[in-house]
Amino acid sequence: MIPAMTTRIPHWIDGRPYSGTSGRTAPVRNPATGAQTGEVLLANAADAEFAVARAAAAAREWRTSSLSRRAAVLFAFRELLHARTGELAELITAEHGKVLADAVGEIQRGLENIEFATGVPHLLKGSFSEQAATGVDVHSTRQPLGVVAGITPFNFPAMVPLWMCGNALACGNAFLLKPSEKDPSASLFLARLWQEAGLPDGVFSVLQGDREAVDILLRHPEVRAISFVGSTPVARAVYRTGTAHDKRVQALGGAKNHALVLPDADVPMAADAIVSAAYGAAGERCMALSVAVAVGDETADALVAAIAARIPRLKVGDGSEPGTDMGPLITEEHRDRVAGYIAAGAEQGAEVVVDGRTADVPAGGYFLGATLLDRVTPEMTVYTDEIFGPVLSVVRVRSYEEGLALVNGHQYANGTAVFTRDGGAARRFQNEVEVGMVGINVPIPVPVAYHSFGGWRASLFGDAHMYGPEGITFCTRGKVVTTRWPDPASSSVDLGFPRTR
């Protein structure tokens, strides 16, 4: 039974809350307490059809707006979100569980992408060639697609939608967001800010839902492009279904990010960086460093000791409380799944140096302490699978070459890092590693907004990376116009293939 104090979380369609027709809902809980705080509506086919129809109608108007008007709306939205970051951060913490400082950081990294998109007058200016042939000019343009849909994960309920929507809206598309049903309120907060910033009704919409809503978006002919972030099995299915229905798709999947620690590395600095990257947001980041690859037993021993010494200093608790370093996992089921990986690692021969299952954590929430496993080998499930929790595995290798082969041999190739004081070794690694995003003594190498985000192999399905310059290309299609204004007296029939003269 739904408690009286819970909030009903609707869709946002055509510039207003929409209750839908399905009658289906899902509970929304505070992961730090386990208490239900809301119920989110789940769309059916009729709701999805209505959302797409309204977005498509709005897109036809928005695409005719001037570049200066679009930029003005983006600037206004940027100012509103900057001023209200604290409110949104509190909302994210209440539904996701991450600490407030982490939620603020998420919003700031999302804002970078809005700031990039404000440059749309420059980004869409095209090119022009005068006199490509005698009396003939050629120019190119990039035009909007129509409706672009974003299907976003629970771990970044503000940042990932901001990665997607800024470029889509700047390019003249309507953007239809299907957020995670686990923490859906941030999407409505963004929708209201877009409206306040002057975005016309229907150009930014929110369709709450689960798989039923996603299936409609993947097949609907008016949805021209799909941006997706989630697990690899789902990303693969989204890519195959969307492209089979003639859509442009970028589907970002899972990760198993390695940190290669060379013998010359500053071990205390590397330990600080790895602990921060492995356990931040309780490990629920696609860019989390979940594997430390130590070259040589001496390096490994020092690194394990340094990491183990830092873990007891981490305060695990409610992310809204000052001084908390790590919050809960998103659901009880996910917490138990992560704990199961720890048990499997121990059974398969890994050394459990620090066991998060026995950590001193608050009762009631979905908490798990930071875990450190040593002597992990490549056949163990804690190494092969994306765990998405506060579990760090240390793999020992004998050489740089062996470590590089390990990184390049994994199915996931999202992000990686190398820790070294040798510039030559770092340069060699960045050239030889087969991973989409690389950090040199940088543990979480998320690109800034004017580059683009995405991995290789099973971490990305599709040709375009997300946001930045590739995001502009993804949200538009190119058109080339060839123009001639001839003298009628010179007109004649010529059946030969056109040539430049």
Token output for 476: 């538009």
Q: Which amino acid is at 487?
A: D
Residue 272 host element (H or E): helix 267-279
Those residues with Cβ within 8 angstroms of residue 462's Cβ, 6 or more apart along the chain or in another chain: 239, 248, 249, 250, 251
From the candidates 165, 171, 286, 475, which is the catalytic residue? 286
* Residue 475 bears catalytic tag: no
What are the tokens at 474?
Answer: 């993804």
Name the packing angle between helices 211-219 and 45-62 (round to 10°).
50
CB 337 within 8 A of CB 313: no
Dump strand ranges (E) for 100-161.
127-133, 136-144, 147-151
Residue 348 to residues 278, 352, 371, 405, Cα–Cα distance (Å):
22, 11, 16, 22
The two structure tokens encoding residue 439? 């950090």
Going by C-beta distance under 8 Å and a sequence separation of 6 or more, which residues neighbour residue 6?
28, 36, 37, 38, 39
Name the CA radius of gyration of the chain, rounded: 25
Contacts 24+ apart (CB under 8 A), 239-244: 239/461, 239/462, 241/215, 242/218
CB–CB of 182/28 below 8 Å? yes
DSSP state of 447: P
Q: What phi and psi, each to the nearest 5 degrees, are found at residue 473?
A: -60, -40
Distance, in Å, from the CA atom of 16 to the CA atom of 100, rounded to the nearest integer, reads 28
Q: Strand runs (DSSP E) across 145-281, as ranges?
A: 147-151, 174-178, 204-206, 223-229, 248-252, 257-261
Buried b (16+ CB within 10 A) or exposed e, 303-330: bbebbbebbeebebbbbbeeebbbbbbb
* Catalytic residue annotation: 286
